Amino acid sequence: MTIQEIVQNALDEDIGSGDITTQLCVPPERRASGRFIAREPLILSGVELLPLLFGELDVKCSNGAALGPGGVIAQVRGSARCLLTYERVSLNFLQRLSGIATLTRKYVDAAAGTRCRILDTRKTTPGLRQLEKAAALAGGATNHRIGLYDAVLIKNNHITAAGGVRRALEATRHAQVPVEIEVRTKAELEEALACGAKRLLLDNLTPHEAREWIGIIGGRAVVELSGGITLETVRAYAETGADFISVGALTHSAPAVDINFRLELE
């Protein structure tokens, strides 16, 4: 689905057969201007959608910009009816995507100064993955695989279904995409390394356990940590020597930020 289709679906969902409130209350010839204004500290994302909604547009900030309360994101002009009808859809996108970027930046800042990079995941809103991963990128994260088609990630259930770590890795030996495997025990860790695994996912370890396992790996593979890592604990995990930390909360639990749309008649 293209970004244009995503925006059109959102408009169709909201407007339906017509914005009856605006059509009844606002004369068709009336023109207005409006400003999108941050009402709390935030990292901006989603401004690339505004040109798909508004013709007369002056974007003041780019994705990834840090704004404080009162910061102007963009100014629009046009038919008052049009501005009012598109107000909620545009705010929904900006608030949701900027919320993801804002939370992501907090994780990135918490890991700053270590070698570890923050990854997003596939735990996205159905139909909005492209936009939500762009928002995580705006917040400073590194994008993980986009879907099931652009990388191999052998999780515990794949290992069970394949018949073990060795069989799973041997089956993917000639894959033309990156291959990563999750290991749950030290025995699986040693087996994966013996089979030549170059990227390992360590899930649900404590920071102490992660540091110990990374010591065993000894640089033989790239290491990703995941599993319930929070803003309060991410620093401890980042200091274990891991290369990456993946955080599902960036997209599945980010709160929307507060952005206001102020309309004025021309």
CA distance 119 to 240: 16
State the catalytic residue, choosing from 39, 155, 184, 211: 155
State the catalytic residue, choosing from 31, 39, 60, 88: 88
Is 12 assigned a catalytic role? no
DSSP-derived secondary structure for 27-96 = -TT-EEEEEEEESS-EE---GGGGGGT-SEEEE---TT-EE-TT-EEEEEEEEHHHHHHHHHHHHHHHHH
Is 266 assigned a catalytic role? no
Is 182 assigned a catalytic role? yes
Is 198 assigned a catalytic role? no
The β-bridge partners of 237 are: none
- Nearest-CA neighbor of 259 among 95, 75, 71? 95
- Nearest-CA neighbor of 257 among 69, 126, 131? 69
Three-class SS state of 16:
coil
CA distance 141 to 134: 9
CA distance 56 to 206: 52
Is 106 assigned a catalytic role? no
Contact yes or no for 79/34 (Cβ under 8 A): no
CA distance 240 to 246: 14
CA distance 82 to 48: 19
CA distances from 144 to 122, 222, 249 (A): 8, 14, 14
State the catalytic residue, choosing from 106, 123, 129, 184: 123
State the catalytic residue, choosing from 120, 132, 182, 188: 182
- CB 11: neighbour CB atoms within 10 A? 17
Report the amino acid identity of residue 200.
L
Q: Hey, which residues are catalytic here?
A: 88, 123, 155, 182, 203
